[in-house]
Structure 1
Amino acid sequence: MNPIVRNIIAVVAGWIVGSVVNMLLINAGHSFFPVPGIDINDMDAYAGVMPDLEPKYFLFPFLAHAVGTLVGALIAAKVAVSHHMKMALIVGGLFLLGGIAVNYMLPGPTWFTALDVLVAYIPMAWLGGRIGMKKNPTA
């Protein structure tokens, strides 16, 4: 298979698998910590209560963003033929763009936005890339 095509497949696979992990953790969070009196599918109502939520309501969103990015970057690094870390960081960049968009649409407390944007994406993509390159350190 053409290495460029394989690297593109690596990024797409990482993005898809990471997104599935992200959504599973978000849904688990809604099961563990349901927001009282809010339909989570009503984005306007949800956005209205976000700034006033207790920190426990932000645990699973942060884990979803961080673990989803980590797993997606790991997959990209493992599947890629070359430029393993670059493919992992591309996945991290895609998740970062999504995270910025979500933090814009559902503005939470400033501490969460800062933590989410600064820690959950690029550092986790780098870590996933490092883990994914373990068996092939010269790549």
Structure 2
Amino acid sequence: MIRKILAVVAGMIVGSVGVWLIERLGHALYPFPAGLRPDNLEGFKSYVESLPFMGKFIVIIGYALGALLSGFISTKVAKDGKPTVAIICGAIFTFFTIYNMIMLPTPLWFWILGIAVWGLVLAGYKLALNKNNI
């Protein structure tokens, strides 16, 4: 049981780092407006609303990387060959993604991809089962 809890924690941490890295790239390409503070929700909403398609799509790419990493790492740590921990990670990430989409102005396509992409935890799970991987 402890191993499964650690697997979920590890999957969440590594998946979050994957999302963060890609989002950092997105912020480098589409910087925040000067003076925007992290606690300014209205300013951040305005920033998100003004992002072009690619600025928003980079976030989806981050989610995809996070899902793959999360599914892979959680499965490797769990060492039980079952998709349970990967699915738990995907469910938690999906919950937070939906929360973010409720809080920020996101188009319909973002909602669809933003939820669907977390299914890639199962691809990470399958990759982790491949004996040719580390």
Normalising by structure 2, what TM-score? 0.86
Q: Distance in 2 between matches of 1:24 and 1:89?
A: 22
1:129 maps to what in 2? Answer: 125
TM-superposed deviation, 1:66: 1.3
Structure 2: which amino acid aligns with 1:71?
Answer: L
| One-letter amino acid of the counterpart of residue 128, structure 1 | G
Q: What's the offset of the Cα at 1:93?
A: 0.8
CA distance in 2, matches of 1:121, 1:65: 7
State yes or no: 1:46 paired with 2:6.
no
- In 1: Cα distance, 2:111 partner to 2:96 partner: 13
Aligned length: 131
What letter matches 2:53 in structure 1? P
Tell me what 2:104 maps to. Answer: 106
Q: Equivalents in 2 of 1:23, 1:99: separation in Å?
A: 13
Shift of 1:85: 1.0
Residue 17 of structure 2 aligns to which amino acid in structure 1?
A: V
CA root-mean-square deviation: 2.0
1:84 to 76, 82, 85: 82
Name structure 2 gaps, 5 residues minimum.
none
Name the residue aligned to 2:69: 71
Counterpart of 1:70 in structure 2: which amino acid?
A: L
- Give 1:71 shift: 0.3
Task: Give the Cα separation in 2 of the matches to 1:40 and 1:30.
Answer: 14
Whether 1:6 aligns to 2:3 is yes
**Seq. identity, %:** 31
Stretches of structure 1 that go unaligned for 5 or more consecutive residues are none
Residues 76 and 84 of structure 1 are in contact (CA less than 8 Å); yes or no, is this contact kept in structure 2? no
Alpha-carbon distance, 1:27 to partner: 1.3
